[in-house]
Each structure stands twice: as structure tokens, then as C-alpha cells.
């Protein structure tokens, strides 16, 4: 294997692992949102980005999108030979929307919770994380590496999911949490 | 790079990522411990009251409904929406009694216009849906008819306007 090919394969593998981590996070987040749907509604209202009258439908659409895309990417990866590209494309779009939405909330300078997983506040980490996952998912979609379902990718994806999940806590400022 | 080297590099990357994750989880555990301690402290402020209905939440002055804005100390969004709620709480909205409910623990009563200022831990705990600010509607029997998020100006305006046209249902006391 030539050096350039190795670099390309390693990059594509890392991108796929981060993309898979993104899909795990979508499912993780969706479970929390289903369990506390009213808290999700309250958080969306506090963000004050979407019209109040539409907040319930938007919360519902978010949960459906998380479950559908997270489930599609994870299932496509688990089932050998299934096309990953469709799910990855959807995931890249979804994370790009998350990035833009978080940036809008940040611009309002309101001290509010992210609503992603727990009570962490919206900080610059949130849109950066979403942008990173969107970029990695796009790379993975255009260059899915051979042997995509390997154990190494699974281990890497799980590790990346944990790091991405707790990233706002790892780099948080003292006021980086928000109760309700 | 041969496949063995690549696997070795990946394994090291995974180890580093797991170390980061462990650090994050440890930090999370410390945070949870601190939050539990804070909640214990807060519960002492709220007092030892049981889940019995706080009578001061019932509508007064012949009103059929109580519309309560639930706010908590330290909630900046609550500070934003409380003036909107008190501005909308006009006596012209017949049949609705407005109240701002909090557990400010010793703070001076605020001027909340035509609304009532209810600084009572038991009332707060009875209404608490798990987030603030929230607007709750109670009928004359004390039943909570609705609990809606009120984290924006548009939300408060919409909820107060809606309550003015709402007819209470005659049902038993309790949530």
C-alpha cells in the first residue's frame, strides 16, 4: 500500500468513526428527548429562535429526525453491504442545521441550556462540535473506506462518541451548566 | 504504513480518546455530587411541606382561574419574562387571577402590578413541572389545567392571551 493511499484510508476511517459517533449521539439524544419531551419544548422556547406557536411541532420533528437518521446510519453500518451514503448525507445536513441553530442561540447571548443531552449551557463548543461532526460525516459519505464494519472503527466510534458527548463538560467554564 | 502499524496507531488513538472520556466522566461525577449538595440545600429552603394543596394558589376576587408564572431565583430568562407577564396581567382580563410564584427565600416582595407575588416553597414545589419559567393554569378547585413553557416574550403573551378566553373545567382537586 502506498503512503498516500494509507493516509487517505486512515482519514476516511477516522471520518467514518466520527460520523458513526454522531449517529450514536443522535440516538442517545433522542432517547433523552423522548423521556423528557416537555423539557425539550421548554428549552426550545427559551432559545427563542423558532416561532413560539411552532415549538411543539419542531420538538417533535427533531426527535423524529434524530431517531430516523441516527437509526439509519447505525443500521446501515451494522448490516454489511447496505448503502451508508443516504444516511450519512442526511446526518451531515442535520448536524449543519444544529450548528447554525446553536450559533443563532449564541448570538442572542441568553444564558440557556443547550437541550442536547443534559443541562449544559450553550457555549461555543456546541456549534463547533456540530460542525466537526458534519464535516466528518461529509468526508465519510464521499469516501467510505473498505472494511467499514471493522472492530477498530467500532472502538474508535464509541470512544469518539463519549468524548463528543462530554466535550462541553471537559472544556466548560465554571458557569457552563444550566439547571432548567 | 502497513496494516499492523495502522492498527497500532488506531489503538493508541482509542486509548487517548478513552482517557479523555474517563476524565470527562470523572468531572461529571464531581459535578453531580455538587448539584446533589445544592439540591439538598435548596430543599431545606423549600421547607418540609408535604404535597398538600397550597390554598393561596386558588383564584381570588371571584376569578375562575389562576394563572401562575413560576420563576426561580438565578434564572435570567425568568427575569426577562416576569415584566411581560405582569404587564399582561390586567384587571380587564376578567375571570383570571394572576400570580407570580417563586421561592425567593427572604427576598422583598416585588411590584408585580395586578398580579399577586407568592413567595412560598410549598406552592412552588406543588406547581414545579421540572423547568422554569413556566405558566400554569389552575381552576377554582385547584386542578392544574395546563403547564406550558414560558421562556420567551412571545410565549408569555400568547399564554396569557389564551387563558383569558379559557373556560375552566369542573373537576376534582389535584394535579
Q: What is the pLDDT of residues B60-103, one digit of tens each?
A: 878 888 899 999 888 889 988 999 998 888 765 668 889 999 88
Q: Are residues B39 and B72 in the same domain?
A: no
Distance (Å) from the alpha carbon of B171 to chain A's nearest alpha carbon: 24
| Partner residue opposite A52 with nearest CB, options B2, B35, B152 | B152
Angle subtended by helix axes A125-142 and A3-35, to nearest 10: 130
Q: Are residues B71 and B152 in the same domain?
A: yes
Angle at A147 between CA A146 and CA A150, to 5 degrees: 150
What does the alpha-carbon distance between residue B133 and residue A48 come to, in Å, rounded to a whole number?
Answer: 13
Instruction: Count up the domains in chain B and report the number.
Output: 2
Q: Do B131 and A1 touch (CB under 8 A)?
A: no
Q: Are residues B16 and B99 in the same domain?
A: no
What does the alpha-carbon distance between residue B174 and residue B123 come to, in Å, rounded to a whole number?
Answer: 13
Enclosing domain of residue B34: 1-46
Would you call A6 an interface residue with chain B, using a CB distance cutoff of 8 Å?
yes
Q: Do A1 and B21 touch (CB under 8 A)?
A: no
Q: Are residues B42 and B59 in the same domain?
A: no
Q: Are residues B26 and B112 in the same domain?
A: no
Q: Do B77 and A111 touch (CB under 8 A)?
A: yes
CATH of the domain at B114: 3.40.30.10
pTM: predicted TM-score of the whole model, two decimal places: 0.76
Q: Are residues B10 and B69 in the same domain?
A: no
pLDDT at B171: 37
Q: Are residues B133 and B91 in the same domain?
A: yes
Q: Are residues B19 and B69 in the same domain?
A: no
pLDDT at B25: 82
Whether the complex's predicted ipTM is more than 0.90 is answered with: no
Q: Is A103 helix (H, G, I), strand (E, B) or coil?
A: helix
Position B175 in a domain: no
Q: Are residues B42 and B103 in the same domain?
A: no
Q: Do B130 and A180 touch (CB under 8 A)?
A: yes
Beta bridge pairs of residue B70:
B101, B134
Position B111 in a domain: yes
Q: Are residues B41 and B59 in the same domain?
A: no
Amino acid at each position: 500500500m502506498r503512503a498516500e493511499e494509507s493516509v487517505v484510508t486512515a482519514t476516511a476511517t477516522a471520518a467514518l468513526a466520527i460520523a458513526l459517533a454522531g449517529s450514536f449521539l443522535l440516538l442517545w439524544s433522542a432517547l433523552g428527548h423522548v423521556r423528557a419531551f416537555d423539557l425539550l419544548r421548554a428549552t426550545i422556547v427559551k432559545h427563542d429562535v423558532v416561532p413560539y406557536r411552532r415549538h411543539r411541532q419542531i420538538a417533535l420533528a427533531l426527535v423524529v429526525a434524530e431517531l430516523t437518521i441516527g437509526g439509519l446510519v447505525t443500521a446501515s453500518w451494522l448490516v454489511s453491504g447496505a448503502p451508508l451514503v443516504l444516511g450519512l448525507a442526511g446526518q451531515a445536513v442535520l448536524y449543519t442545521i444544529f450548528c447554525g441553530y446553536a450559533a443563532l442561540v449564541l448570538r442572542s447571548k441568553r444564558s440557556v441550556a443547550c437541550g442536547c443531552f443534559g443541562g449544559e449551557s450553550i457555549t461555543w463548543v456546541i456549534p463547533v462540535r456540530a460542525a466537526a461532526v458534519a464535516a466528518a460525516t461529509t468526508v465519510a459519505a464521499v469516501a467510505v473506506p473498505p472494511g467499514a464494519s471493522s472492530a477498530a472503527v467500532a472502538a474508535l466510534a464509541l470512544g469518539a462518541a463519549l468524548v463528543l458527548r462530554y466535550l462541553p463538560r471537559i472544556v466548560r467554564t465554571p458557569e457552563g451548566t444550566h439547571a432548567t | 504504513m502497513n496494516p499492523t502499524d495502522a492498527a497500532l496507531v488506531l489503538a493508541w488513538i482509542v486509548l487517548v480518546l478513552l482517557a479523555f472520556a474517563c476524565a470527562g466522566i470523572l468531572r461529571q461525577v464531581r459535578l453531580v455530587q455538587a448539584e446533589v449538595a445544592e439540591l439538598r440545600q435548596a430543599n431545606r429552603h423549600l421547607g418540609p411541606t408535604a404535597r398538600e394543596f397550597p390554598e393561596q394558589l386558588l383564584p381570588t376576587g371571584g376569578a375562575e382561574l389562576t394563572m401562575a408564572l413560576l420563576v426561580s431565583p438565578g434564572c435570567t430568562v425568568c427575569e426577562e419574562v416576569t415584566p411581560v407577564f405582569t404587564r399582561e396581567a390586567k384587571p380587564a382580563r376578567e375571570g383570571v387571577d394572576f400570580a407570580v410564584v417563586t421561592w425567593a427565600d427572604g427576598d422583598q416582595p416585588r411590584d408585580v402590578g395586578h398580579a399577586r407575588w407568592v413567595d412560598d416553597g410549598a406552592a412552588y414545589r406543588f406547581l414545579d413541572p421540572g423547568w422554569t419559567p413556566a405558566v400554569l393554569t389552575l381552576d377554582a378547585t385547584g386542578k392544574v389545567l395546563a403547564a406550558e413553557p414560558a421562556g420567551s416574550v412571545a410565549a408569555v403573551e400568547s399564554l396569557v392571551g389564551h387563558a383569558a378566553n379559557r373556560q375552566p373545567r369542573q373537576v376534582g382537586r389535584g394535579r
